Amino acid sequence: MIPRVLIIAGSDSGGGAGIQADIKTVTMLGGHATTAITAITAQNTLGVQAVQAVPPDMVVAQIDSVLADLGTDAVKIGMIGSAETAHAVAGRLERIDVPIVFDPVMIATSGSVLADAATIAAFTRLMRMAAVVTPNLPELAALGGEAAVRALGPALLVKGGHGDGAIVEDRLVDAGGGETVWTHPRRETRHSHGTGCTLASGIAAGLAAGLALADAVGRAIAYTQAALAAAPGLGAGHGPMGHALGVTPFALWGAECRA
């Protein structure tokens, strides 16, 4: 059966991050993405102009609808929208036994705030049930630091993209304290919108397919780097990555005809 990933996150009207990036990532990595949308945003590469949270009961209804028929092999949680939604989602996910990847989205690449203090406080419940939490450095600080997150039980992937220096270090600390580190040259580009969403969804796709956590993280990092390299250069601000990796539908159609 194709690996199934339930994505609980907000919509990005610019197509670079959120649900849109999640679906593209899971699809490119061989999975089937289902969704429960937590918020609708009006945004583009210049920023977020408006946010409308989806009522918590509607978020849970989407989750129930998917699980009742299609099922899932992993869950990815991104932008959660509100503290009420965080608690509603946690209450529903407590009843299923699949790996959960929690990306604690707080601030968009453009700098727009996507989670208030109450929502961030409610993240604790989601972190307790996660297989891995994937904060960037500012998000990790807002969550209380590495020790505070690890005390809740999940593995922790500390993303180094917000650090300094020419080399980016991504560090996975598993639940037992073991560490795996990936390094790569920093790519100087403004077309990096959706990197966190892409990475977390890539990990969820790997876990849904039965990969070990470190293998899922390594594959997701490689895919994210490839998508950064293939960015199409859209927009005047923080543009989207190239999730299709430069492969066009016409190229695939032509190859199929030649075969």
pLDDT digits (tens, 9 = 90+) for 135-156: 999 899 989 999 999 999 999 9
Lowest mean pLDDT among 51-65, 121-135, 154-168, 171-185: 154-168
pLDDT of residue 105: 87
SS3 of 67, please? helix
The predicted pLDDT at position 248 comes to 73
Task: Kindly state which CATH superfamily the domain 4-258 is placed in.
Answer: Ribokinase (3.40.1190.20)
Name the β-bridge partners of 180: 172
Strand order in the sheet with 32-44: 47-53, 32-44, 4-12, 74-77, 100-102, 132-133, 155-158, 167-173, 179-185
The CA–CA distances, whole Å, from 223 to 30, 60, 122 equal: 12, 30, 30
Query: What are the boundaries of each domain within the chain?
Result: 4-258
Q: Report the predicted TM-score, pTM, of the whole model to 2 decimal places.
A: 0.93
Q: Given pLDDT bands bounded at 50, 70 and 90, which one contains residue 121?
A: confident
37 has which bridge partners? 9
Task: Categorize the per-residue pLDDT at 86 as very low, low, confident or very high, splitting at 50, 70 and 90.
Answer: very high
165 pLDDT band, cuts 50/70/90, is: confident
Segment 103-112 mean pLDDT: 73
pLDDT at residue 77 in the model: 98
pLDDT value of residue 166: 87
